[in-house]
Amino acid sequence: MSFCVLKNITKTFKIADQIINVLNGINLTFEKNEFISIMGTSGSGKSTLMNIIGCLDVPTSGEYYLDGKLVSKLNDNELSSIRGDYIGFVFQSFYLLSYSNVIDNILLPTIYSHKQKTMGNIEKAREILNLVGLSERENFKPAQLSGGQQQRVAIARALINDPEIILADEPTGQLDSNTTKDIMNLFSKMHSLGKTVIIVTHDQNIANHANKVIRIEDGRIAG
């Protein structure tokens, strides 16, 4: 079986009397160490799909197997355990803790994992900080960093638990074109280090970094 298998995934939201069918039968498979971009117009269901792939949410129907485990029917606790083991997230608006410095932001996911804020983890956070080119900023707060630097901290945070999969939802949406290049080079580096990288983007240039482009239209895979 492939590393990630999504079979006939649907997602429906009910708000008051209104039923919104967001995903309408998604079939997808990913292998380990693929670099995939997901494109589609606003509202087509990209973030909803990413949330399911990342085990932040479960589908309304259909099956999702991650590394051979059926994860589409797990409860919240089981999902968060799978997330801690497999997934690192990067978002458009960074979501760093403003009162915590760089190193504590990077260590945040270790609090929720079996691992803790041990010396080993602090060493590892420093190594990753070096990898993203921010060793000099360890004690800075997010507001004292540029947007690109903040996103690099967020990427470092995504890497701290050594996830197999990095999910990035429009990670360069708030960045200028030069910074976008730096960040995309960083994702390419993660890919070359063996990670499975999945990026949602509106930008064809960014999509071109990926080995495979998936297009979503009205909650279906297009084409």
- Per CB under 5 A, residues contacting Mg ion are 47
Nearest distance in Å: CB 49, ligand ATP: 7
- Taking 3-state DSSP, the helix, strand and coil percentages for the chain, each rounded to the nearest 5, stand at 35, 25, 35
Nearer residue to ligand ATP within complex by CB, 48 or 161:
48
Asked if residue 142 lies in contact with residue 150, where contact means CB atoms within 8 angstroms, the answer is yes
Distance CA 91, CA 46 (A): 13
20 touches ligand ATP (CB under 6 A): yes
Nearer residue to ligand ATP within complex by CB, 42 or 77:
42
Dihedral pair phi/psi, residue 104, rounded to 5°: -70, -35
Footprint on residues 37-96 left by ligand ATP (CB under 6 A) = 40, 42-48
Nearer residue to ligand ATP within complex by CB, 7 or 202:
202
- Type and span of the H or E element at 27: strand 18-30
Q: Strand 61-66 and strand 69-70: pairing?
A: antiparallel
Nearer residue to Mg ion within complex by CB, 55 or 168:
168
Interface residues with ligand ATP (CB under 6 A) are: 13, 15, 20, 22, 40, 42-48
